[in-house]
Amino acid sequence: MTAYTCPSLARTSALALCVASVALSKLPVSMRLLKRDPSLPSEAPGSAGAGAGAGARGRPENYISRDALGADRGGRREGPTCPEPGPGPARMASPADGNTEAGVFPLSCVVQQYAWGKTGSSSEVARLLASSDPSVQISEDQPYAELWMGAHPRGDAKILGSQKTLGQWIAENQDCLGSKVKAAFHGKLPFLFKVLSVETALSIQAHPDKELAEKLHLQAPQHYPDANHKPEMAIALTSFQGLCGFRPLEEIVAFLQKVPEFRFLIGDAAAAQLQQSVGSDSQAVASALRRCFSQLMTSEKKAVVEQLDRLVMRISQQVCAGNHMEDVLGELLLQLHQEYPGDIGCFAIYFLNVLTLKPGEAMFLEANVPHAYLKGDCVECMACSDNTVRAGLTPKFIDVPTLCEMLSYSPSPSQDRLFHPARSQEDPCLSIYNPPVPDFTVMKMEVPGSAAEYKVTALDSASILLVVQGTVTASTPTAPAAIPLRRGGVLFIGASESVLLRLTVPEDLLLFRACCLL
């Protein structure tokens, strides 16, 4: 059957292509899309699928070839497999039907109601939850911050229709992870898959590398509960704003000149050193930047509150007078001060890049990169760890000395912080976000509603599949009954298992799949 062509996806950078191509050279084809039978209901009005069909014309250089993705089950190349999360608490086929034996089953996932989350039905987390299970009652005054899809001890998903958790099932069926993943990660799922709905800013933070994580865990296990690193990636579902990495020095120097309250906390000597380091070698730049950032973060609380109050009053007066204050990030500064009055983290916007991601755009947060999520909804995947070093915009434990010591003081433009997916040459509906860490990879699938079915092919890794949009039934060669999946559904897929998704409603599908590609 002729392959259907999806609408074009986001462009991929050469760097992302190189990373993804090397890592994916051992993997099987992930998906195959079939055209919808003309006798089935026509595509919904306004469906994006109406513009599909470009075929191979204009394919970007960053397409990933069929060989890079590998073959389907039977001719599969050796490599780790990732379990995919099953649907949330929707009413679906029970594990008693035999799906757990097949290694493909739906999940009921944990919702975290942190105070920074969006409330009620304004939260994408809540909307996904309610859609997957119409019996769920959403409390409009409660935050729905995170949906955890995985086997983390603090939020282990349950197998739908069973009291057994995913972590327990994996412990009893470790081959579901795939041979390489099982060996490399000692029989445990190496990633945690999430959906986040952010209303107020999360803390200014960074995550340690493995060496530092082991040290911090030994020194303060109450604050650093494990010895693992925590690289993470955020892929926007809606407009998503965050801080990520240090700005170019020229931008920081400009803020030191435009914002006297900021310069007061840094001090003239440190500010002068930073200005002199513009155009110098990376070591001189890092030294000057470290001095300035440390000077700010170790400022006395009284001085921070005084200077922040002055800045807020000055910006507020200018705004009331009808003046725009974009040149000093006035709107963002007022927003953060309202959320965290008197907090040192409000000044961090003058050091860090402000990114606003469009849906499908991503940022990767490797070890030692300062960052903070500010607002919006995203899919997030990370290594399975709780280690976070914080320094502002939070009521939680703050460890300023560790943060200032560990950070990577490498300034770069905001566009360099974007992480571009690679596109599959064989499956134009598939985009692959493959970061330079072994713990996880995320695949995004955009399937037009005019398709009859879509094949999720086997990997040598366990994976978790999230339905963000669309309605399907999922069937496998080994399962006795099809599993209905709708928006918010989460499916665990064991290594070497393929899944055929049949579209039951002619609307576009948006799927995300987390796995581990060793």
The number of CA neighbours under 13 Å toward the Cβ of 84 is: 30
CA proximity to 208, closest of 378, 386, 409: 386
**DSSP bridge pairs for 107:** 159
How far does CA 134 lie from the centroid of its chain? 26
Alpha-carbon torsion, ordered 286, 288, 294, 295, to 10 deg: -170
Catalytic residue among 32, 76, 127, 390: 390
CA proximity to 364, closest of 428, 441, 290: 441
Measured distance CA(8)–CA(15) in Å, rounded: 20
Q: Which residues contact 466 (CB under 8 A, 6 or more apart)?
A: 85, 149, 193, 195, 379, 489, 490, 511, 512, 513, 514
279: left (phi over 0), alpha (psi -120 to 50) or beta: left
How far does CA 228 lie from the centroid of its chain? 18
In the block, which residue shows the tokens 């010591």? 405
Is 390 tagged catalytic?
Answer: yes
Amino acid at the residue 138: I
Q: Which residues contact 92 (CB under 8 A, 6 or more apart)?
A: 86, 106, 160, 161, 483, 484, 485, 489
422 burial (CB, 10 Å; 0-12 / 13-18 / 19+) is: buried
Q: Which two tokens stand for residue 313?
A: 């009053």
Measured distance CA(294)–CA(71) in Å, rounded: 51
CA proximity to 497, closest of 467, 443, 457: 457
CA proximity to 150, closest of 95, 106, 181, 189: 189
Measured distance CA(30)–CA(445) in Å, rounded: 10
Q: CA of 210: how far to CAs of 216, 217, 437, 442, in Å? A: 10, 10, 12, 22
Which residues have a catalytic role annotated? 390
